[in-house]
Chain A
Amino acid sequence: MTKPDYVLFDKDTTAIIFGNQQAAVQRMLHFGYLAGREEPSVAAIVNPSGGRKGLMKVFYGKDEILLPMYNKLGAAVKNHPDADVVINFASFRSAYDVSVEALNYPTIKTVAIIAEGIPERQTRQLIALRKKLGKWIIGPATVGGFVAGSFKIGNAGGALSNLLMSKLYRPGSVGFVSKSGGMLNEMANMIARNSDGVYEGIAIGGDKYPGSTLVEHLQRYEANPDIKMMVVLGEVGGDDEYEIVDAIKDGRIKKPVVAWVTGTCAKVFPSEVQFGHAGAMARGEAETADAKNAALKEAGAYVPNSYDDFDKHIRKVYEDLRAKGIIEEKEEVTPREIPVDYDPRTMRRSTNIISTISDDRGDELLYAGIPISEVIRDRYSVGDVISLLWFKKRLPQYVTEFLELALMITADHGPCVSGAHNTIVTAMAGKDITASVASGILTIGPRFGGAIDGAAKYFKDALERGLTPRQFVDEMKAKNINIPGIGHRVKSVHNPDMRVNLLEEWAFANLPKHKLLDFALEVEKITTAKKNNLIFNVDGCVGIVFVDIMRSTGIYTEDEIDDIIDSGTLNGIFVLGRTIGMIGHYLDQKRLHSGLYRHPWDEVLYMLPSETEVLEYRKAK
């Protein structure tokens, strides 16, 4: 469904918020809920610079909901193609780069820039870009704006009490535009008290070069049949207001305009005073507030003698339009009720823990939303249950098959490896199953079994950066890092690891593409040429094949795959698999009634300081 050009925001508009702005997000949601929106107006949040990602907890009406949070704008845009607005809360240092990126995404139509203090040249470049691409910028240096009853940008409209007071939960007939963001709420309140309220209110920001101008928004309002009159709050400095004068004179603007340009006080100031806004400084007589007010009045706008009478002029124009029947009586809308007034300090107590995988509260236990009875009835495999509880969805059968294969292959590797050894020693010391198995699990890490994550991460990164296998090996050598997933204590080229062969065979038979495995096998050719036992090991193979599987499902983006690796999911396969073996070793020792283990002396090399060294040490003391 395409919207008319004059509509930037409506009841279906959703936005991506750049910046970890929980309060602003919450205010947007409150507004939407109040106005009876079906869906929250925030599609996603981008928390840049590697901050927390995952989910943001917010209230939507009575309910606590979770909004997805990303580290990169690109990922958010890709996953939320319906969101056509980016609200850019980046600081003045990075606001330009973020805005350029946002404007260049085809799905984004409007970028609101909140930061104050963006260099003028950067803003001018943004304006050129947005014009070239036919898009909109609101800001910089603004709080944004709102379409009553539909959508609001970030903090615009203020607190809940103000949304109610100014009736922003339903549309009125007045289109309003100002430079000042701080005056947005004040004007909405004034308009609500003197007419049927605001339809749309935009603050373009107080910079010298605003991303969109007063007259551009007025022309949108002119085209919008629901808007019957317009209110403008201009400012000393610049020549924006003369564009309005021209538009009224040449008929591009026909609807009544009530206007006031602030800064009439500048004339009594002894020398140039820079007001709070960067653009608010008259350079030459034409840019003074008095000259602009006079020009607007002369063109036919309704201009008061002072801001003090602005409200009366709005009321008069509104009442004229009512009398003429141009504005009809609208039925008052009752806003949806929000339980408690939102206030960051007295906010409803939010929960402490989030669970998104299982729920035990209802009649029946749910695994990722699937009732346990369905799991049994439909003969879910162990791999299916793992996919529900680890990946929150039922993954295709070949994936769960691989999970089971990996569990079987990693289930045990004899009594001499660290995990089994620890389990056995602990069991022989008379400890129970949990202590014995835990002591075994605790040995799993970078040297034992835990190379799955590392292998997946390093190989994937190398392939993504376009390194050749040779470059990858050289780079790791230069960094003095052993390549995770390469090398074995006893296995070698001549004594191959059957488990690896089985995994590889499975991958070749079941995956249409296995780029990372192919890459790893090329790396193995290079490493085994150096040393016989630098073979591709079972940890590496599980990790790498799993990356190829995740890619083949088409469900995950590369960023999401990185998240899955970073969170330790792949090592989880080894922990789970090997636990089967360690429980086996524990039970084995119990059956055998083994006594306490004591390591034989001749297995230890004792090397204490010599007598002379001790003597010297004593003397020194």
Chain B
Amino acid sequence: MAQRGIREYDAKRILAKHMRRLSKGTFKYRGRVALVTPNTSIEAVAKRKQWVKTEKLTVKPDQLFGKRGKHGLLLVNATYDEAKSWLEEKMNSIVEVGKVQGKLTHFLVQPYVELDKEYYLAFAGHQDGDYVHFSAEGGVDIEANWDMVTTVNVPIDAKIEDVDLTPILDSVSNDDGDAFRDLITALFRFYRKLQFGFLEFNPFTHKNGEFFPVDTVARLDDTAHFLCHEDWKDVEFPAPFGRELRPEEQYIEDLDEKSGSSLKLTVLNPKGRVWTMVAGGGASVIYADTVVDLGFGDELATYGEYSGNPTTEETYDYAKTLLDLMTRGEVEGGKVLIIGGGIANFTDVAMTFDGIIQALDDYAEQIKEQDIKIFIRRGGPNYKAGLAKIREAGKRLDLDMEVHGPEMHMTKVVSIALKNLEGGR
């Protein structure tokens, strides 16, 4: 659905398979990387990869966050035994990176490389082409030294071979120019052919036709899966650090993958008192915005959306998952459920509401016990029938429910709901 980060391990593993061919034999990359996880110990890895025991090692978490040195999460120039005990200490530990807390579960192990010179190279897509950013002064402080970076644009319909790279090559010594040209060309081809949105090597160096990337950051455009799945092998798209999926989120993600419609769910705060079930990618954001803009951001329990005319069954599964999460614990002052949405283009409101009603049937007792108030606003094809049905279900199940159609401003229902939160703000 968009550009998504991949593990450094995957990026390097895939690069190793393509380097020789894409550089037309001028460069090789041995791809000596290993991934240690709670299920794959460094001992197990060492059995398959001899270098793990013979070389000095670099070990670092591989979970889509950077600045690992600054967080004390980088081990360099270590022996196998040092790496092993460091890993034992760090594995499954909880750390805080930026504002985010998460568990360390994936570590990249690679041979330690002594760099006499640190270079920086990144490719980044923009609308009209792809930027090649290069600096002969790479390393951790690249952002602070951005004035040392030279940028060349490769237009979207041009080949890198046809683009003048001299501004970049001017910053390296003359006898190195051809090698850098070959290397940058090959890596750019890799970036473009495999549909990366962003690819960064910082720092890196090369020696005798061999490429040595130290840190790598990569984002793939996952919509290109149908074009690239063979080249990507079994690349994994991990959740961002600190965002391991809950079983319910995983369930909705699986549902979404199987469906032609769109179903999304992120639990933000399971103890929150404001729950939303909103139709539409655009409207769902606006509902969440309004909760935040009206000062209830810390009470917002979920972000999610259903759209693209899901079936009654799919909507039922989605609503059931949400109601199950919502009714797991009583909270003082009660909770509100906002079943919102704009005016649909083609999603059938009556059919999707049938699914929501089935879920309300299943959870009616819990909803009443926990003093949950329901606020509804929706429009679109068959909305009159849909709203009438859910109003009727509300009466039949004796739920505390308010139902509005498109005659009311879309987010008005949010302010009404928030006023109903006992204790308010």
Contacts and interface: CB of A to CB of B under 8 A. Distances in A.
Interface stretch (B131-139, B210-218, B404-412): B404-412
Interface string A520-533: 00000000000000
Contacts of A206: 281-282
A75 to B, nearest CB: 27
B303 A117 contact: no
B242 A159 contact: no
Interface stretch (B83-91, B260-268, B391-399): B260-268
B99 to A, nearest CB: 7
A262 B195 contact: no
A271 B100 contact: yes
Contacts of B381: 158-159, 161-162, 343
A278 B1 contact: yes
Interface residues of A, number: 69
B95 to A, nearest CB: 14
B240 A183 contact: no
A232 to B, nearest CB: 13
A143 interface: yes
Interface stretch (A6-14, A122-130, A388-396, A609-617): A122-130
A308 B288 CA distance: 12
B359 interface: no
A357 to B, nearest CB: 36
Residue of B192, B290, B343, B380 with most chain A CB atoms under a 10 A cut-off: B343
Interface stretch (A174-182, A470-478, A583-591): A174-182
A124 B223 contact: no
A307 interface: yes
A305 interface: yes
B230 interface: no
B344 to A, nearest CB: 6
**A interface, by DSSP: helix, strand, loop or mixed?**
loop
Nearest to A125: B156
A289 interface: yes
B367 to A, nearest CB: 25
B276 to A, nearest CB: 10
Given A120-B125, A265-B291, A272-B240, A277 B281 contact: yes
Contacts of A547: none
B345 A143 contact: yes
B282 A121 contact: no
Interface in A123-147: 124-125, 127-129, 143
Interface string A178-199: 1111111110111000000000
B177 interface: no
A50 interface: no
Contact of B242 (A116, A270, A274): A270
Nearest to B193: A121
A311 B409 contact: yes
Contact of B294 (A162, A179, A209, A306): A306
B323 interface: no
A190 B410 contact: yes
A308 B293 contact: yes
**B interface, by DSSP: helix, strand, loop or mixed?**
mixed
B379 A262 contact: no
B286 A307 contact: yes
B156 A182 contact: no
Contacts of B262: 116, 276
A142 B227 CA distance: 22
Contacts of A307: 286, 289-290, 293, 410-411
B282 A180 contact: yes
B415 interface: yes
Given A119-B195, A159-B381, A263-B289, A186 B342 contact: yes
Contact of A190 (B2, B100, B383, B409): B409
B343 A189 contact: yes
B66 interface: no
B282 A158 contact: no
Nearest to B412: A308
A273 interface: yes
Contacts of A190: 409-410
Interface in B310-350: 342-346
A566 to B, nearest CB: 32
Contacts, number: 212
Interface string A100-128: 00000000000000001111110011011
Interface string B269-293: 0000000000111111110111111
Contacts of B99: 270-271
Contacts of A162: 343, 379-381, 406
Contacts of A128: 128, 155-157
A185 B345 contact: yes
Interface string B8-36: 00000000000000000000000000000
B282 A165 contact: no
A264 interface: yes
Interface in B291-307: 291-294, 297-298, 300, 303, 305, 307
Interface in B343-381: 343-346, 379-381
Given A92-B223, A206-B282, A305-B293, A271 B241 contact: yes
Interface string B383-425: 1100000000000000000000010011110110000000000
A380 interface: no
Given A189-B343, A276-B281, A269 B268 contact: yes
Given A158-B381, A278-B2, A264 B289 contact: yes
Contacts of B298: 268
A280 interface: yes
Residue of B3, B224, B226, B286 with most chain A CB atoms under a 10 A cut-off: B286
Interface string A347-358: 000000000000
Contacts of A186: 283, 342-343, 379, 406, 410
B118 interface: no
A118 B221 CA distance: 10
B117 interface: no
Given A119-B221, A182-B283, A271 B292 contact: no
Contacts of B224: 119-121
A265 B303 contact: yes
Given A120-B223, A124-B127, A186-B410, A275 B285 contact: yes
B243 interface: yes
B197 interface: yes
B250 interface: no
A182 B307 CA distance: 8
B323 to A, nearest CB: 21
B386 to A, nearest CB: 12
Interface string A269-313: 111111111111100000001000000000000000111100100
Given A121-B221, A128-B157, A273 B266 contact: yes
Interface string A144-162: 0000000000011111011
B344 A185 contact: yes
B379 A181 contact: no
Nearest to A311: B409
Contacts of A467: none
Contacts of B1: 116-117, 274, 278
Interface in A4-37: 23-24
A260 B144 CA distance: 33
Interface string B200-212: 0000000000000
Interface of B: 1-4, 99-100, 125, 127-129, 155-157, 192, 195, 197, 221, 223-224, 226-227, 240-243, 262, 264, 266, 268, 279-286, 288-294, 297-298, 300, 303, 305, 307, 342-346, 379-384, 406, 409-412, 414-415
12 contacts: A119-B227, A120-B197, A159-B381, A182-B280, A182-B342, A208-B3, A264-B289, A267-B297, A272-B240, A273-B268, A275-B303, A279-B2
Given A161-B381, A268-B268, A268-B297, 17 more contacts: A117-B1, A120-B224, A124-B128, A128-B157, A165-B406, A166-B343, A182-B342, A182-B345, A183-B342, A186-B283, A189-B343, A268-B298, A270-B243, A271-B100, A276-B285, A280-B285, A289-B289
